[in-house]
Amino acid sequence: MNLPELANPRILEQPIYQPGKPIEQVAREHGFDVGEVCKLASNENPWGSSPLAMEAGRQALQAIFLYPEGSGLALREKLAQIHGLDANQFILGNGSNEIIELLGHVFLQPGDEVVVGEHAFVVYKLVALLMGAKVVEVEMPRLTHDLNLMWQSITDRTKLVFLPSPNNPTGTANTAQEIDSFVRSLPEHVVFCLDEAYAEYLEEPFDLRPYAREGRKVLGMRTFSKIYGLAGLRIGYGYGSPEMIGLLQQARQPFNANSVAQACAIGALGDSDWVETCRRRNRAGLEQIRVGCSAIGLEVVPSQANFLLVKVGDGKAVFEKLLARGIITRPMSQALSEFLRISIGTEEQNERVLLALEQILQQDSTDT
């Protein structure tokens, strides 16, 4: 018997997540110094992380020979204070991606159905497939989640519904009114997960906390990877009713969130000025890219996050041409192959990607 024959067949069929290309690899392959490469591929914070977060991390390094406090009580207490919930309404994850996996472990069995948008963040689908659940992909007219269509896709076998708002990679968000009526209309046997990875970029994010307080079957998920600038540490959290969180706690590994990450997250939460500055700069950057693209005749999908989809024609080809200029963006899969996802960078980085796009377009038009 060979090794793959011994494997869970679902592992053999599992689609592979394609992350943004690392800076070092692009530098090596295209002959740049690391400092010359500009990465606008993973929606990281181009301004780095809060100085308060980094200071907290330096302090925490003194004690990395000790195991972390398993449940992350100090961070959960801080979150409880900020959100007006109890500490037992929060669970930490090794990135919020881990929380998605925990949802799968807690709720999914083979034959269950998971409802997602056709262009939703892909990790929901990966987790559902791994658990042997059926993924029901719902059309997204104008690249936005259509909550009526999603509601119509719910059956007796539906266990989980995921809504990322704003969504990655489309950048589109749903209104508070839409989300409210959707949540209230869900049948008793369905768990609703609102992925708020980009909520801090919204002017008025939807407030899921009242639903968690009412004990509804909802889970909100947030991350420190995006506006908080801690993507390398892998820390995120989920919140919901104490019952919901209790079930998720049962499924996690004993020390899933590391001590340095917990400390940095507490530091980051104490620096709301930093978050506000990044939100403001991001909004200016979105506008810069939108205006710049329009000036060279490129359509963009209106975004409420820290990235946007640009319609470039042959996404893979333009991705490669940008790589050759030391700029990493994110090509899309088949369904969105005309688009490229570009994360908002610093003003300088945005300028650089716009100039490169203009040159590529000009070159393409003289070639034909």
Ligand X SMILES: *Cc1c(COP(=O)(O)O)cnc(C)c1O
Residues at the site binding ligand X, with contacts judged by CB under 6 A: 43, 95-97, 121, 164, 168, 195, 197, 223, 225-226, 231, 236
Q: Which of residues 97 and 303 has its CB atom nearest to ligand X in the complex?
A: 97
CB of 97 to ligand X, least distance (A): 3
Q: Which of residues 131 and 221 has its CB atom nearest to ligand X in the complex?
A: 221
CB of 193 to ligand X, least distance (A): 10
CB of 340 to ligand X, least distance (A): 16
In whole angstroms, what separates CA 20 from the centre of its chain?
Answer: 13
Does the CA dihedral 226-77-243-234 come out positive or negative? positive
CB of 236 to ligand X, least distance (A): 4
Q: Which of residues 164 and 315 has its CB atom nearest to ligand X in the complex?
A: 164
Q: Which of residues 236 and 315 has its CB atom nearest to ligand X in the complex?
A: 236
Contact 183, 193 (CB under 8 A): no
**Residue 290: count of CB within 10 angstroms of its CB:** 18
What is the largest distance, in Å, between two alpha-carbon atoms of the chain? 63
Q: Which of residues 216 and 234 has its CB atom nearest to ligand X in the complex?
A: 234
Q: Which residue is nearest to ligand X (CB)?
A: 95
CB of 32 to ligand X, least distance (A): 26
Please choose, from the candidates 333, 318, 360, 364, the residue with its C-alpha nearest in 3D space to the C-alpha of residue 40. 318
Q: Which of residues 85 and 194 has its CB atom nearest to ligand X in the complex?
A: 194
CB of 78 to ligand X, least distance (A): 17
